[in-house]
Amino acid sequence: GAGVSQTPSNKVTEKGKYVELRCDPISGHTALYWYRQSLGQGPEFLIYFQGTGAADDSGLPNDRFFAVRPEGSVSTLKIQRTERGDSAVYLCASSLSGLSSYNEQFFGPGTRLTVL
């Protein structure tokens, strides 16, 4: 079946611009996560959705970052007034919600954001 997809795969923008990054999770997965990854580093947690609501947004670095998941499926990560330091690969993952001890997270290929 289809995995997690992310669009665009690459985004180049100028400092100060607004960008939106989209994530399509695996069908039926109620949990959705956003991470970002800088070169040579492990992924860094940003936000986690359970259904439509943000269950944990403790990783969002500041109020320029915002994410939505209005219908509990597709999610959009929005970055306002982009800065050069926002350049990274933005990863999306989804997982099932259930009673098992662990639901593995399935990752998309990421969106590479470059802020000039």
Partner 1 sequence: DAKTTQPPSMDCAEGRAANLPCNHSTISGNEYVYWYRQIHSQGPQYIIHGLKNNETNEMASLIITEDRKSSTLILPHATLRDTAVYYCIVRVAGNNRKLIWGLGTSLAVNP
Q: Give whichever of 42 and 70 is closer to partner 1, judged by the CB atom.
A: 42
Q: Do the beta carbons of residue 35 and residue 43 sit within 8 Å?
A: yes
* Residue 114 within binding range of partner 1, rule CB under 8 A: no
> CA 11: distance to chain centroid?
14
* Residue 77 within binding range of partner 1, rule CB under 8 A: no
Q: Give whichever of 79 and 108 is closer to partner 1, judged by the CB atom.
A: 108
- Residues in Cβ contact with 79 at an 8 Å cutoff, skipping those fewer than 6 apart: 18, 19, 20, 21, 64, 65, 66, 86, 113
* Residue 59 within binding range of partner 1, rule CB under 8 A: yes
**Residues making up the chain, counted from first to last:** 116
Cα–Cα separations (whole angstroms), residue 95 to 27, 40, 60, 76, 91: 10, 25, 20, 17, 14
Q: How far is the CB of 15 from partner 1 (least distance, A)?
A: 25
> Binders of partner 1 among 4-23, rule CB under 8 A?
4
* Residue 31 within binding range of partner 1, rule CB under 8 A: yes
Residue numbers at the binding site for partner 1 (CB under 8 A): 4, 31, 33, 35, 40-45, 48, 50, 55-56, 59, 91, 93, 95, 97-110
